Structure 1
Amino acid sequence: MPRVKSFEPLYRPFATWLRPLALASLVANVVLIVTGAAVRLTDSGLGCPTWPRCTDASYTTTSAMGVHGMIEFGNRLLTFVLAGLAIACFLGALGRPRRQSLVRLSVLVGLGIPMQGVLGGITVLTHLNPWVVGLHFLLSIALITLAYAFWRRIGEGDGDPRPLVPAPLRTLARVTALASLAVVAAGVVVTGSGPHSGDRGAKRNGLDPAAVSQVHADLVFLLIGLSMAVWFALRAVSAPPAAVRAALILVAVELGQGLIGFVQYFTHLPVLLVAAHMLGAGLVWWATLGVLWSLRERPTHTPADPAPASPSPAEEPVPAA
């Protein structure tokens, strides 16, 4: 995408701070999961009972709506923070030369923000339908994926991706990522069957909480086993230290998340542990992406050196007599 020269002074400061801005966007999308959990766990899901306004007469919360209205409206305000960061990242991407992929990723992240707002509005208008709430969470996972790709792409070169480990190990990592995504999706179903609905009158999905929790736990065991296999395999093939470290971080995050999930289940889902578990879901996916990204590199593209020109007849050395 060509840059307009007259706008370069506008792009330059954003391009200079692009990597911190990208990290802030990624962190903010993870924080959105936590604030969404706060809305649900405090029964504030209908603190603003309509959308896009908070009430029929006001776009903002009122004192009569109490703390529930403040919590729900605060979660809505985070959308504007995400939108501002997305715009800043887009401007910064325009200021980077020959980085069309950065611009495309920033546009996708930016488009996801209003989609998230609209889907959040649908959850309110459907009175917190658990399946819609689940889609709202999965869209956050998709946005984390895009924001992570944007953040990591900034520090890469512009050449073609080059694998750093053998193909079977890359396949194992992809299977592990699918298992991680399955764990997240199963967690959404478990949440929809549990007691924390976001409002005391909201319906649940009707599934047996114990049964779906068992499926979720089985997938967690599978994920941990696959992740440990990736870690051992990376060490066995003498993979780059960054890849080994990324796999170890994934295993550590999964074990911490599993411990929180185990304790919260047998302590009847206290809200603080449930909130920590929601944060952990975002961190597990972040760590999963870190493993995938560590198995390849994109070096700086350097054009091939031109072949030396053949000397002209006048330049050819004269044979010795």
Structure 2
Amino acid sequence: MGVARFVRPLGWATLVANVMLVVTGGAVRLTGSGLGCPTWPRCTEESFRPHGELTLHAAIEFGNRMLTFVLVAIAVATFVSAWQTGRRDLRRLSVILALGIPAQAVIGGITVLTDLNPWVVSFHLLCSMAIIGLAVVFLRRIDHPDPTRARGGLVGLAWVTFAAAWAVLYLGTVVTGSGPHAGDIDSPRNDLDPLQVSQLHADSVFLFLGLTIGLLFALIATGAPREARRAVLVLLAVSLGQGAIGFVQYFTDLPEILVGFHMLGAALVSACVTWALLTVIHTPAISPSAGGRPPAAASPPAGRDRVG
């Protein structure tokens, strides 16, 4: 198989690199370095890199832009490895992941050219969250090349939980757009009331947590495969931690370090909720007549966690 054996570590590299891009992008905003390079695609009107005395803001913003080349290298290697597997699904996913890099670069450029418009910044972050979720899909497809879709109430509940998670992520960006960490002292805000949008965001978090807990109990009650239960349990743990950070940062006037961890938590929520969704929708159908357990023919082989 040659380089095909690297497809899994490269898939993990893709996931980790995109999570780190969210974190470094947060560092740009939290240090007020969003316009450290005041134009795009160049850093200044004269050059692609800062000239003269390098300020801290310029160094941070320029360093974040340089991460694009790391992502490109990982994306090319992932595509080559996926191509060597001979599998159309992995090839297609690797192409989509690769195309996400120039798309994000353009969106990032637009955020600079619009002086960090909060709605554009919001879209920029949400695109990163989507790429993180797609990286999880890529990793799972390595072991599940032809997954069988399950049907029933569990699948519907999993999709509703997934949608609620994305509502939480979106409203989180709206809260950010109304708050103090604009990325630059002169950048505009979205003119929404921070208190009201924060309350709406908190309400969506409670809804999401309730759905996640309900999904976990439903999986346990129906005897769903262990991987699905474990995935939702991890999602619940990450979400509770993320919620705790969110409440602490709100009542401590948004210290930068906690906001940074909150952005990392958002990226992890995107990854975990995608993993949880995939494990549930590919779970063998539950037979009510079998006492809440999967039919014998649909049960996963003993000692293995693979589903579907």
List aligned pairs for 1:150-299, cutoff 5 A: 150-157=138-145, 159-163=146-150, 167-297=152-282
Alignment correspondent of 1:147: 135
- SS at 1:115 equivalent: helix
- TM-score norm. by structure 1 comes to 0.86
User: How many aligned residue pairs are there?
Assistant: 284
Alignment correspondent of 1:312: none
Say whether 1:58 aligns with 2:34: no
CA contact (8 A) 2:155 2:281 kept: no
Q: Supply the AA of the counterpart residue of 2:212.
A: S
Q: Deviations over 1:29-59 (max 9, x none)?
A: 1111101100000000000011111111221
- 5+ residue gaps in structure 2? 285-308
Q: 1:133 aligns with which of 121, 142, 145?
A: 121
Q: Deviations over 1:135-157 (max 9, x none)?
A: 10011012112211111111223
Say whether 1:108 aligns with 2:100: no
- SS at 1:95 equivalent: helix
* CA distance 1:149–1:124, shift in 2 (3 Å): same
**Separation in structure 2 between the aligned mates of residue 289 and residue 241 of structure 1, nearest angstrom:** 17
CA contact (8 A) 1:25 1:86 kept: yes
1:65 shift after superposition: 3.6
- SS at 2:53 equivalent: helix
Identity of aligned residues (%): 56
* CA distance 1:160–1:248, shift in 2 (3 Å): closer
**Separation in structure 2 between the aligned mates of residue 77 and residue 16 of structure 1, nearest angstrom:** 28
CA contact (8 A) 2:158 2:281 kept: no
**Separation in structure 2 between the aligned mates of residue 286 and residue 102 of structure 1, nearest angstrom:** 18
1:14 shift after superposition: 3.0
Alignment correspondent of 1:24: 13
**Separation in structure 2 between the aligned mates of residue 265 and residue 162 of structure 1, nearest angstrom:** 41
**Separation in structure 2 between the aligned mates of residue 30 and residue 193 of structure 1, nearest angstrom:** 24
CA contact (8 A) 2:130 2:270 kept: no
CA contact (8 A) 1:62 1:69 kept: no
CA contact (8 A) 1:26 1:147 kept: yes
Alignment correspondent of 1:309: none
CA contact (8 A) 2:21 2:67 kept: yes
* CA distance 1:64–1:259, shift in 2 (3 Å): same
1:162 shift after superposition: 4.1
Alignment correspondent of 2:291: none
**Separation in structure 2 between the aligned mates of residue 127 and residue 188 of structure 1, nearest angstrom:** 17
**Separation in structure 1 between the aligned mates of residue 39 and residue 53 of structure 2, nearest angstrom:** 15
- TM-score norm. by structure 2 comes to 0.89
1:62 shift after superposition: 3.2
CA contact (8 A) 1:176 1:227 kept: yes
Say whether 1:74 aligns with 2:59: no
CA contact (8 A) 1:160 1:298 kept: no
Q: Supply the AA of the counterpart residue of 1:14.
A: V
1:298 shift after superposition: 9.4
Alignment correspondent of 1:33: 22
Could you list the structure 1 runs, at least 4 aligned residues long, displaced by more than 4 angstroms after superposition: 296-299
**Separation in structure 2 between the aligned mates of residue 298 and residue 13 of structure 1, nearest angstrom:** 32
Say which one has the larger Rg.
1
